Amino acid sequence: MQTTSERRPFHTNDPRLTPIAEKVLAGERLSFDDGLALYRTGDFLAVGWLANFVRERMHGDTTYFNVNRHINPTNVCVANCRLCAFGRKKGDPNGYTMALEEAWETAASGYSEAVTEFHIVGGLHPDLPFEYFLDLVRGLKQRFPKVHIKAFTMVEVSFLARRAKISIQETLRQMREAGVDSMPGGGAEIFSSRVRSFICDHKIDGTEWLDTARLAHKMGFRSNATMLYGHIENDADRVDHILKLRDVQDDTGGFQTFIPLAFHPENTPLDHLPVTTGLTDLRQVAVGRLLLDNFAHVKAYWQMLTPKIAQIALRFGADDLDGTVIEEKIYHDAGATTPQGMTRKQLCRLITEAGRVPVERDTLYHAVTRTEDSFVVAV
């Protein structure tokens, strides 16, 4: 089949891709089987071409990044997930829990870069009361009223609700009152119960993750959605995961960004598994872009992909690189060798050299313009 995009004609030597390409070019929704074919075809560049076509139709050359700081208040966690190198059991000498003052100081130590977002996630601590997390957020809002607080995954929300013996709805209501503005996409892993029962058996199941996201969206929160790949899942598990996200998005429209996360096995009980390859990483970005026709953004999280693969991903469907990410811990505990942060200048260079146009954004994708020592968000 020969069709033209603005740049060059589409071509594939895999006949399975021809009807898929027709749907993509016509803006039609792809099916489960289309998703499987995109994973299984050997014509990897054709998959990338299609994802890039969609990405450019939605965003042109614009590529987003933000200036954010990660805060992980504790690594003490009851979940003991096989996928994780970050969590520690209570009493472990390498466990830590920040006093509130310490968490606020940690936030302040990155403020010189004028961050627009605090990204807060942590372990499921057996003893910390819900009030600790609310006070943490209240204190941040008081000290940094202009900074957006993206905090607590669906897994943490569900855990905190259970500990506080209140409903998920009431938990979300109190979080919002304390100052949480939106929620990160972590903890989704892979929704398949077969996989989940092996990689994170004590975590909420996929249905509960999706129901919590649905409820949060209906209460007005925006959130992200992740998919952890490169462990024991198969292609059908990945497609199933992505289509479940698409279903919730049809219902709520509350997801902003899809973020595929490559499994890093080092220092986890699954350290015998190989790390993902560049082609596998790029394919997740591309398939995500093609199946998630109702998601505005696909993020190439450079901390996990490496800056080099993330840069190429900007031509395979991604329109967002995440951010400066001061002090990432979760991947670095699992052996990531990427730097723990990047400056705005370094990120802009990656984007520009990929032939794209960098746009600094806030968490909700409003453009940010910088003055000498502050920032202004265009609404």
Q: Please, what is the Cα angle at 271 between 267 and 275, to 5 degrees?
A: 105
Q: Confirm or reject binding of residue 75 to ligand V47 (CB under 6 A).
A: no
Cα distances from 345 to residues 118, 207, 232, 260, 299, in angstroms, run: 20, 41, 37, 25, 19
Hey, which bits of the chain come out as E strands? Answer: 3-4, 9-10, 62-66, 68-71, 117-120, 148-151, 223-229, 255-262, 297-298, 320-323, 357-360, 368-370, 375-377
Q: Which is nearer to ligand V47, 34 or 328 (CB)?
A: 328
Q: Which is nearer to ligand V47, 118 or 301 (CB)?
A: 301
CB of 263 to ligand V47, least distance (A): 5
Q: Which is nearer to ligand V47, 179 or 184 (CB)?
A: 184
Binding to ligand V47, residues 20-39 (CB under 6 A):
none
CA distance 103 to 288: 34
Residue 166, token pair as written in the block: 């209140």
Number of residues that bind ligand V47 (CB under 6 A): 22
Q: Which is nearer to ligand V47, 69 or 264 (CB)?
A: 264
CB of 172 to ligand V47, least distance (A): 16
Which residue from 263, 295, 302, 316 is in contact with ligand V47, where contact means CB under 6 A? Answer: 263
Which residue from 157, 259, 347, 351 is in contact with ligand V47, where contact means CB under 6 A? Answer: 259
Which residue from 222, 264, 289, 297 is in contact with ligand V47, where contact means CB under 6 A? Answer: 264
Q: Which is nearer to ligand V47, 196 or 246 (CB)?
A: 196
DSSP, collapsed to helix, strand or coil, labels residue 57 as helix
CB of 69 to ligand V47, least distance (A): 12
Q: Confirm or reject binding of residue 290 to ligand V47 (CB under 6 A).
A: no
Q: Name the segment binding ligand V47 (CB under 6 A); options: 29-37, 72-80, 82-90, 214-222.
A: 82-90
Q: Which is nearer to ligand V47, 203 or 246 (CB)?
A: 203
Q: Which is nearer to ligand V47, 115 or 228 (CB)?
A: 228
Q: Which is nearer to ligand V47, 179 or 186 (CB)?
A: 186
| Per-position x/- string for 84-123, each x denoting binding to ligand V47 as judged by CB under 6 A, each - no binding | xxx-------------------------------------
Q: Name the segment binding ligand V47 (CB under 6 A); options: 89-97, 167-175, 238-246, 329-337.
A: 329-337
Q: Which is nearer to ligand V47, 131 or 201 (CB)?
A: 201
| Per-position x/- string for 224-253, each x denoting binding to ligand V47 as judged by CB under 6 A, each - no binding | x-x-x-------------------------
Cα distances from 307 to residues 47, 313, 335, 345, in angstroms, run: 21, 10, 16, 13
Sign of the alpha-carbon dihedral angle for 359, 331, 175, 81:
positive
Strand partners of residue 370 = 375
Q: Confirm or reject binding of residue 261 to ligand V47 (CB under 6 A).
A: yes
CA distance 225 to 298: 10
Taking a C-beta distance cutoff of 8 angstroms, is the pair 216, 172 a contact? Answer: yes
Q: Which is nearer to ligand V47, 184 or 358 (CB)?
A: 184
CA distance 67 to 343: 9
The number of angstroms, rounded, from the C-alpha of 29 to the middle of its chain's C-alpha atoms is 23
Q: Which residue is nearest to ligand V47 (CB)?
A: 186
Q: What is the DSSP string of 108-129?
A: HHTGGG--SEEEE-----SS--
CB neighbourhood size of 207 (10 A): 11
Q: What is the DSSP string of 224-289?
A: EEEEEESSS--HHHHHHHHHHHHHHHHHH--EEEEEEEE---TTSTTTTSPPPPHHHHHHHHHHHH
| Per-position x/- string for 176-195, each x denoting binding to ligand V47 as judged by CB under 6 A, each - no binding | --------xxxx-x------
Three-state SS string across 241-253, please?
HHHHHHHHHHHHC
**Binding region for ligand V47 (CB under 6 A):** 83-86, 184-187, 189, 224, 226, 228, 259, 261, 263-264, 268, 301, 322, 330-331, 334
